[in-house]
Chains A and B, each alone.
Chain A
C-alpha cells in the first residue's frame, strides 16, 4: 500500500509538473515578440517613423482579427530599437533584442549599411530576419539562410529606371544622350551607381558626371554647379531626405536645364520632401515600390486608414513594412510554432498572393533560395500638379499609368 501511494504521489507530481509547464508554455505562446531595428532618430528618423507607423497599423489589424490562430490566437508584440542609422548601433541592438528581449523574428533596418552587418548577427543566432526594404543587393547575397527581403533589390531598381528611359524616348520621340549620376556616398548610392554605369555602357549613353557626395553635406551648391556645367540631358540621383530637398532646391536656384530628373525613392519618396521642395520638385520622375494611386484591392482603404491615423500617405517603405507584418503572420500561421527554424522554414515556403496585407503593386510574395522576394517589381511616378496641388502620379509601366495622364517629358 505504501509503495502504491508513493508511486501515485510521484505520478501525480509528474503530471502536475507537466501540466504546469504546459500552462507556462501556452502562456508564453500568447505573444510572439517581433524585434524591429529602425532609425527612430538621426538623419533617417522621418522614414523610420513611417516604418514604425505602418508596422503598428498592421499589427493592430492582425491582433484585432484574432492574432495567430495556429498558436492559439497569440498576439504579435512589437519591440522597437533605434538604429540612429548607425551600423554599430544596429548590430548592438540586434544582440540585445535576441539575447535580452528574446524576440522570435527581427525586421529592419531601412539603411542598407545598417541591415548588412545586422543580418549577420541574426544569422549567427539563427533568428529569422525579415527585411521589408533595404535595397543593397549584397544583403541577400551573403549565403544566409535567415534573411528574407520583401522589396526589390537595387539592381532591379536600376534595371527598371533604364527600361523607363528607353520607353520614354520611344514614346515621346526625344533622344537622351548625356546622363549625369549624383548619389549619396553610402552603400545604397554606390550600389546604384555601379549598376547605372554598367547599364549606361550597355545602352550607349554618354556619362558626363559621376559624383558621389557625403549625405551629411551642409552645402550642395558645388555639386549642382558640376551638374550645370556637365550639360547633361538626364540627371539620375540617389539621395536621403535632407540632401534631396537641398539638391532639388539648389538645382532650381541655379536654373540647371535638364530633360528629366530620375530619382531612386528614399529621400525623394519621403512625404516631407514634397512639402519642403514644393514647386521645385515638379516634373521629377521617381522610382518607387508603391504609390497611393496603385490599382490594387484594399490599397486605397489602407492608405485612407493610415492617413487618418498618422496624417500622411503610405510610402513605399511603409507599405513594405506593412506587408512584412502580414508575411510574418502568414509564416507564423503555417509554422504553428515560435521555434526559429520552423518559422524560417515557413518563411522560405511563403507564397502570399491575397489577403488584407497584399496591397503591393505586384501579385505575390515568394522567396527564392537567397531569400529575395522574386515577384517584387517597381513603378515610376511623376511629380506634377494637375489641379489638386503637387502629387505623385504613376506613369510607368504604361499599363499601370493613371488613367488620363500624359507624362511631361522632356521637362519644360
Chain B
C-alpha cells in the first residue's frame, strides 16, 4: 500500500511537470487555433537557455527563471511576429489556417537541427546544482526534491496564468480574441498583437517548464520530441485551451506512468496512455475540461 502511495506521489509530481510542458501548447492553441508543432523545440530552446545560464553563472537553477522567462517571451513574440504572422495574414479568410501548422513543423525542424549544429548531440546536465539527485525521505517514502519544486512551480504558473487571463485587461483581450477573433477586431483589439503576446506567453511557459526540468533532466537537441508527443496527448485529454485541464491531464498521464508499472511491464503503460487518448477522442472529443461549444 505504501508502495502505491509512493508511486502516486511521484506520478503527480512528474505529471504536473508534464502538464507544465503542455500548458504553453494549450495557450497557443486556445488563442491562435493553431497546433504548434514546434512546441517541443521551444521547450528545448528554453532548456538550453536555462542550462547555459546556470552553467556559466553557477546560480541556483530556479534563479535562471529571471532570464529564461523574458528571453523566451521575446523569442516567442518575434517568432510569431516575423515567421508565423505573414502566413496568418495570407490565410486571413480561412478559419483554421493549415499552412501555419506546416510552418510550425518547419520551425521545429530548423530549431532542432540548428541546436544540433551549434551544440552537438551531447547530453548536458548541471552536475553541481543544489537540486540534482536530492531526495526527501518521509519514513519509507522517498520523494524527489527537484520534482517537488517542479510541482510547486507548475501550480503557481497555472494559477498565475488563470488570474492573468481572467482578471486583467490584457487577459480579457486575449480571451475575446480566442472566442471570436473577428468580433474582437471589431471592438478595437489588434488581433495580431494578441497573437504575438499569446505566442510569447506560450513560449515563456515552455521556458518555465524547461527550468523545472534542467535540474534533474538532460539537455540535448531532440529532448523536445520526447515531451512533445506527451504534450499533445495531455492537451487533448485535458481539453484544448484549458489551463487547469493541461495540469490535470498531465497528472493523469504521470499517475498511469508511475503506478502502472507496479502491476505490469512499463511498456504497457504507454499502450494505456495512447488507449486513453483514443478513448477521449471517441467519447469526449473536447477533452475532460474543454468547453463544449466550438470556439
Contacts and interface: CB of A to CB of B under 8 A. Distances in A.
B261 interface: yes
A221 B127 contact: no
A218 B267 contact: no
A386 to B, nearest CB: 20
B261 A222 contact: yes
B113 interface: yes
Interface in A209-246: 211-214, 216-219, 221-223, 225-226, 229, 241-242, 245-246
Interface stretch (A271-279, A291-299, A329-337, A395-403): A271-279
B46 to A, nearest CB: 15
A404 B224 CA distance: 45
Given A242-B123, A249-B133, A275-B122, A222 B10 contact: yes
B7 A222 contact: yes
- The size bracket of the interface on B is 35 or more
Interface string B248-283: 000000100111111001110010000000000000
Contacts of B133: 249, 252-253, 280
Main secondary structure, interface of B, reads helix
B266 A254 contact: no
Contacts of B113: 41
A253 B216 CA distance: 11
Interface residues on A, range: 35 or more
A278 B123 CA distance: 12
Contacts of A223: 261, 266
B102 to A, nearest CB: 19
Nearest to B15: A219
Given A249-B133, A253-B135, A276 B7 contact: no
A225 B262 contact: yes
Contact of B258 (A43, A221, A276, A278): A221
Contact of A219 (B116, B124, B257): B257
Contact of A254 (B142, B222, B260): B142
Contacts of B221: 41, 45
Contacts of B14: 218-219, 221
B262 A221 contact: no
Given A45-B221, A222-B260, A252-B133, A214 B112 contact: no
A46 interface: yes
A255 B133 CA distance: 10
B129 interface: no
B266 A225 contact: no
A185 interface: yes
B155 interface: no
B123 A241 contact: yes
A49 interface: yes
Contacts of A356: none
Nearest to B222: A42
B124 A217 contact: no
A222 B257 contact: yes
B258 A219 contact: yes
A43 B222 contact: yes
B112 A276 contact: no
B184 to A, nearest CB: 37
A226 B122 contact: no
A222 B266 contact: yes
Contacts of B218: 242, 245-246, 276
Given A221-B144, A221-B258, A276 B123 contact: yes
Contact of A41 (B6, B217, B222): B222
Interface in B217-265: 217-218, 220-222, 225-227, 229-230, 254, 257-262, 265
Interface in B199-227: 216-218, 220-222, 225-227
A254 B6 CA distance: 12
A255 B135 CA distance: 10
A214 B226 contact: no
B197 to A, nearest CB: 29
Nearest to A41: B116
B144 A49 contact: no
A134 B24 CA distance: 39
A46 B227 contact: no
A185 B269 CA distance: 13
B253 to A, nearest CB: 10
Nearest to B219: A276
Contact of B226 (A216, A241, A253): A216
Contacts of A219: 10, 14, 254, 257-258
Contacts of B11: 222
Interface string B104-146: 0000000011001000111111010000011100000010100
A212 B144 contact: no
A17 to B, nearest CB: 48
Nearest to A280: B133
A223 B261 CA distance: 7
B227 to A, nearest CB: 6
Nearest to A249: B133
B122 A46 contact: yes
Contact of B10 (A41, A213, A221): A221
A245 B261 contact: no
A241 B122 CA distance: 10
A214 B267 contact: yes
A45 B266 contact: no
A212 B120 CA distance: 29
Contacts of B230: 218
10 contacts: A218-B18, A218-B217, A218-B230, A219-B258, A222-B11, A223-B266, A225-B3, A225-B7, A242-B218, A275-B122
* 8 nearest CB pairs, A to B: A45-B121, A46-B121, A213-B266, A222-B261, A219-B14, A272-B122, A272-B123, A185-B267
Given A212-B266, A222-B7, A253-B135, 17 more contacts: A41-B113, A41-B116, A42-B222, A211-B266, A212-B267, A218-B230, A222-B11, A223-B261, A225-B3, A225-B10, A225-B262, A226-B262, A242-B123, A245-B123, A246-B217, A254-B142, A280-B133
